[in-house]
Structure 1
Amino acid sequence: MFQHELPDIQNEKDERHVSIDKVGVSDVVYPIVVLDKANKIQHTVGNINMYVDLPEDFRGTHMSRFVEVLNVHRGKMTVRNMENILEDMRKRLNARVAHIEVEFDYFVLRKAPVSKIESYTPYKAKFIAKKDEEFDFILQVKVPIQTLCPCSKEISERGAHNQRALADISIRMKKLVWIEEIINFAEKAASSPLYTLLKREDEKYVTEHAYDNPKFVEDVVRDIAVQLEKDERITWYTIKVTSHESIHTHNAYACLSKKKGG
């Protein structure tokens, strides 16, 4: 039976003469595979945004083609494959610029400091990439840490206030930097790392370690920056540290962004 070709509404000519910077799909939940320093690969679930530019002549873009690109690449979201994914988006959608953002939970098997009992700690990681004439890639890792207030320790006769904080580190790199390395940069700069599972002897160690290592958010940002400056693979970075204050109704915050060599 003869079937008429369905109309392609998206390719209709638009007469308003307004180009759009980004059109596409957001919050696509999709299984992905990422590189894992200890185990080579790690299976996780990504929350993915994919966009291209839309010239003024076209009414819309073909949303299904974004997911088709994911299907072709089988969810392999690695630094090495990201440029290929973006180039595929550009070709399939006849676009000049392609963008992709992939946020996912990344798990690291950690040992408690004294008991050495193992448990998985989750971290939020994100790939932010863009391709036009050139390729740009940013790795973002959010690391939960603990901070203990130096001022509180100095003025109090008993104890000091401490709290959970978040170190948010984004980098551009010229050679591969592992997610685990970014986590290590943040935890070295903290009053103490955080753990999923601690026994009593571990809790004692973590509490006393934090007390012996008080840090303002400003201290944490600067200590992370010193480490990033020494790493020749990293060309640009942004560090944000937010301390969720335990005795205040507000948070404490510090931020530093720098292009190395500039």
Structure 2
Amino acid sequence: MTKQLPDVQASSPDVSVGLNRVGVTGVEKLVKLHREDDRPIVLMAEFDVFVDLPSWRKGADMSRNMEVVDEMLEEAVSEPALSVEEVCGDVAERLLEKHEYTTQAEVQMEAEYMIREETPATNRPTQATADIVASATAHEEEGTREEIGCHVVGMTVCPCSQGMSESRARDVLEGLDVDRETVDQFLEEVPQPGHSQRGHATLTVETEGEPPVDLNELIDVARDSMSARIYNLAKRPDEDHMTFESHSDAKFVEDCVRAMAEGLVDRYPELPDDAVVYMEQSNDESIHQHNAHAERVAEFGQLKGEVEGE
């Protein structure tokens, strides 16, 4: 006869305080996402899984959480045309079903994503990386909201330091008796130096159900919000291209967030007004010991109105 083991988690805690999130973090799983007429995308993903816990219960069922994650991810490997946010949503809904004492379940996922592309000047094949971020929250009364987005890296140039360099160049050229029209034309054609920064952009979209956006397009919007894209492979013409492009479009950290907002509105004008958009830009300063940071969280309807000047 099998001995019945005690369910300690179901007992009462010494202190009756409810908890918003209890679960497991850092769960690594191999996820294969199928695509029509193309090779599948294989991701090494890391999951965080949470449920809420009432004040009368000592602990959550960690083994049950892991069982649901394992079951769902195994199905994700074999089921065609599943997106990462759908995987998160399905796992969150199963968690809610299997935990009768919870009212909310949350699943978060991150994975490195490889992008095949060409270098900007020499057109050589290369690869870039972006971090996929996806999540879902299932609520017993409010349904399921899913989120998809990315972290990407790029390059920015400071407009302030560039303005000082331009002023210095203008003084030198005028001191050499170059006429003002020629000076203006030269500075228009040849952007002056400014201190450059490694930029980190984050862009996510959250909606009720699966967001009607494409991950690759979100990555494009985030990468294009900075002064220039960067590439793993770069021959000298490519380096010259990136340097010139970035100095031709100098941006403050705040400008990058606003560029993300404009890019998203241009790409997806029909997004639901209640979609929640998260945009963040952090720049690693090259001439300071501190870094620069800006972010915005807003419903899409409000964001669209601001971008279009309404």
What is the TM-score when the length of structure 1 is the normalising length? 0.90
Superposition pairs of residues 122-137 of structure 1, within 5 angstroms: 122-132=129-139, 133=141, 134-137=143-146
Q: Is the 8 A contact 1:102 1:126 kept in 2?
A: yes
The CA deviation at 1:88 is: 1.0
Q: Is the 8 A contact 1:110 1:195 kept in 2?
A: no
Aligned to 1:84: 90
Superposition pairs of residues 119-198 of structure 1, within 5 angstroms: 119-132=126-139, 133=141, 134-156=143-165, 157=169, 159-173=193-207, 175-198=211-234
Aligned to 1:97: 104
Aligned to 1:209: 245
Which structure shows the bigger proportion of residues in strand conformation? 1
Work out the number of aligned pairs and report it: 261
Q: Is the 8 A contact 2:225 2:263 kept in 1?
A: no
Cα distance in 2 for partners of 1:175, 1:239 equals 16
Superposed CA RMSD in Å reads 2.2
Distance 1:208 1:110, change over 3 A: same
Superposition pairs of residues 5-84 of structure 1, within 5 angstroms: 5-14=4-13, 16-34=15-33, 39=38, 41-75=40-74, 76=76, 78-84=84-90
Unmatched 5+ residue regions in structure 2?
77-82, 170-191, 303-310
The CA deviation at 1:25 is: 0.7
Cα distance in 2 for partners of 1:205, 1:79 equals 36
Distance 1:26 1:190, change over 3 A: same
Which structure shows the bigger proportion of residues in helix conformation? 2
| Structure possessing the higher radius of gyration over alpha carbons | 2
The CA deviation at 1:203 is: 1.0
Task: Report % sequence identity.
Answer: 26
Unmatched 5+ residue regions in structure 1?
none
Distance 1:34 1:246, change over 3 A: farther
Cα distance in 2 for partners of 1:125, 1:71 equals 20
Cα distance in 1 for partners of 2:35, 2:239 equals 28
The one-character-per-residue Cα deviations of 1:83-129 (angstroms, maximum 9, x if unpaired) are 32112111222222111111111111121012211222111121121
